């Protein structure tokens, strides 16, 4: 890894941590003060957990002697609307669910000092994450036993229109019942409900769990698209893979690297001898239609594994009816998250001559910088903010990974202008870093993309893109090609200026520019 990449990784890690702190700050002073605040109904026995949202206590209900887990929100989050909605979401989701494999919420309220709290099942045991850490790979039999219960829990949630969105080993709790694992799926704090009247999903995805827990997120969740049950199925596939290997399918130096892998890289296969190979493949497809459509189908294949049979891939069935080309398969790997707004001005500006006529690399475009917008999705906001900040501050090495993310994710939805604009920005970053061969690759992507744009959009991007490309050609010793392209670009700019004057009925100016065009063309000849 070169120094620029190391610095880039450090910067991304730093900013990821800043997002986590902004989204769900931990109040380390809460501690013992909460013990006396839950009220007379419960006797707090000990603190058993701590997270970004609050503290979790083991408590005894005084009236019945029953043991519960009580989650109390951090006091400093009580004024945080995102945190409040997340807590409300968990209460609302849990109130709709009643299943032996789900952690139930029995009561909720506020402490004497105003912090919201939840009273939940207390699960005596460990999480699946703890089990995998302790034992490494799990046996096929134990994996089936655990995963089948998780799937049953998800079937109940999905039947109620609830998508968990944060299914991972640490949210799968394991109790012991009659010598076997009893699964309890917990933490519906970022779940989404199809029939909810308030759109929590955009706000709730700003929390640190989404930004900071990318190892189990589906490509569509990574990119902020609309989710359905198959997002949970993808997450469950990641969990199964980890049960069988001791690690998630995708790892990276930071959250963004892992997100990009979920979006763009084929999930690694389990060995041919592993009975879960095709089941996991059916879960971890980038394209939703190639995954299990319901957990019922997944449960049916678990039973096939249990009986010693072979699970077929969904792709095998689809091939009976559809021919999937390699090109289509490649396109299906892409995702979308960021929106680069097209330049829609009521009146087009009079153009300047190409920046490549000046010495050195072009400066960041003020027009380009003005086109960055804010997205409510957490990953989008974080990445877009990073790209804007670094591009504006001319920290080009740090801007490149965010810009590549933008380019890749806009490709799927056919936002050709946004995709092409991102390519141009990446080319400019590499040019500024004097990495001319890389710059040439990305400028050529932008030039190819411009061919598919409308005439107005093409003009808005053409001058700056070709100016940068001309400078790259000069630096690579292709001066003749650069000079020819510069002359062609100058003529096109003058042609546009002539048409502009004609539209605004400035005929004298139009005639003057027409003469300049004629002179330029004659000079080329």
Phi-psi label, residue 312: left if phi above 0, alpha if psi -120 to 50, beta otherwise: beta
Strand partners, 173: 127, 184
Q: How far apart are CA 314 and CA 233, in angstroms?
A: 14
Alpha helices in 246-336 (DSSP H): 255-264, 277-283, 295-306, 314-318, 326-331
Q: In what order do the strands lie in the sheet with 42-50?
A: 42-50, 54-61, 67-73, 116-121, 105-110
Q: How far apart are CA 332 and CA 288, in angstroms?
A: 9
Q: Give how far Cα 73 sits from Cα of 22, 33, 299, 452, Å.
A: 16, 12, 36, 52
E strands in 94-232: 105-110, 116-121, 125-127, 162-163, 172-177, 180-185, 192-193
Q: Give how far Cα 110 sits from Cα of 107, 113, 124, Å.
A: 10, 8, 25
Secondary structure (3-state) at 339? coil
Which active-site residues does the annotation give? 166
Q: How far apart are CA 347 and CA 388, in angstroms?
A: 25
Phi, psi (deg, nearest 5) at residue 64: -115, -15
Cα distance from N-terminal residue to C-terminal residue, the chain = 48
Asked if residue 139 lies in contact with residue 168, where contact means CB atoms within 8 angstroms, the answer is: no
- Count of Cβ atoms closer than 10 Å to residue 312 Cβ: 13
């Amino acid at each position: 890894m070169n120094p620029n990449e190391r610095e880039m990784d450090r910067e991304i890690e730093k900013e990821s941590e800043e997002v986590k702190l902004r989204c769900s700050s931990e109040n380390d002073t809460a501690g013992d003060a909460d013990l006396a605040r839950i009220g007379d109904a419960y006797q707090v026995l000990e603190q058993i957990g701590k997270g970004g949202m609050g503290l979790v206590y083991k408590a005894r209900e005084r009236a019945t002697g029953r043991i519960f887990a009580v989650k109390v929100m951090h006091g400093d989050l009580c004024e945080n609307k995102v945190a409040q909605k997340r807590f409300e979401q968990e209460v609302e989701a849990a109130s709709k669910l009643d299943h032996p494999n789900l952690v139930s919420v029995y009561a909720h309220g506020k402490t004497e000092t105003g912090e919201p709290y939840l009273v939940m099942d207390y699960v005596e045991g460990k999480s699946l994450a703890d089990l995998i850490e302790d034992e490494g790979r799990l046996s096929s039999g134990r994996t089936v036993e655990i995963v089948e219960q998780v799937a049953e829990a998800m079937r109940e949630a999905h039947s109620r229109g609830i998508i968990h969105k944060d299914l991972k080993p640490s949210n799968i709790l394991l109790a012991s019942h009659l010598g076997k694992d009893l699964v309890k799926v917990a933490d519906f704090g970022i779940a989404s409900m199809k029939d909810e009247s308030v759109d929590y999903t955009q706000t709730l995805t700003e929390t640190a769990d989404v930004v900071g827990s990318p190892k189990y997120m589906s490509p569509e969740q990574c990119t902020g698209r609309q989710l359905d049950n198959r997002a949970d199925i993808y997450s469950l596939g990641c969990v199964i893979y980890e049960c069988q290997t001791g690690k998630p399918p995708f790892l990276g130096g930071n959250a963004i690297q892992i997100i990009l892998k979920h979006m763009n890289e084929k999930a690694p296969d389990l060995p041919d001898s592993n009975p879960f190979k095709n089941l996991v493949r059916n879960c971890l497809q980038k394209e939703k239609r190639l995954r299990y459509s319901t957990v019922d189908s997944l449960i049916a294949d678990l039973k096939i594994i249990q009986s010693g049979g072979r699970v077929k891939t969904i792709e095998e069935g689809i091939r009976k009816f559809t021919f999937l080309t390699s090109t289509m398969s490649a396109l299906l790997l892409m995702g979308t998250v960021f929106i680069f707004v097209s330049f829609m001005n009521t009146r087009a500006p009079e153009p300047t001559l190409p920046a490549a006529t000046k010495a050195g690399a072009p400066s960041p475009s003020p027009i380009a910088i003005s086109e960055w917008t804010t997205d409510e999705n957490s990953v989008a906001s974080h990445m877009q903010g990073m790209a804007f900040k670094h591009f504006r501050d001319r920290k080009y090495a740090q801007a490149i990974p965010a810009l590549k993310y933008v380019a890749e994710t806009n490709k799927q939805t056919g936002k050709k202008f946004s995709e092409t604009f991102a390519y141009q920005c990446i080319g400019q970053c590499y040019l500024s870093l004097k990495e001319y061969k890389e710059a040439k690759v990305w400028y050529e992507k932008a030039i190819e993309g411009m061919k598919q744009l409308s005439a107005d959009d093409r003009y808005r991007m053409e001058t700056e893109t070709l100016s940068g490309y001309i400078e790259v050609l000069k630096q690579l010793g292709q001066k003749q090609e650069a000079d020819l392209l510069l002359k062609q670009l100058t003529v096109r700019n003058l042609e546009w200026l002539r048409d502009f004057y004609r539209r605004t009925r400035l005929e004298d100016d139009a005639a003057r520019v027409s003469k300049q065009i004629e002179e330029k063309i004659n000079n080329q000849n």
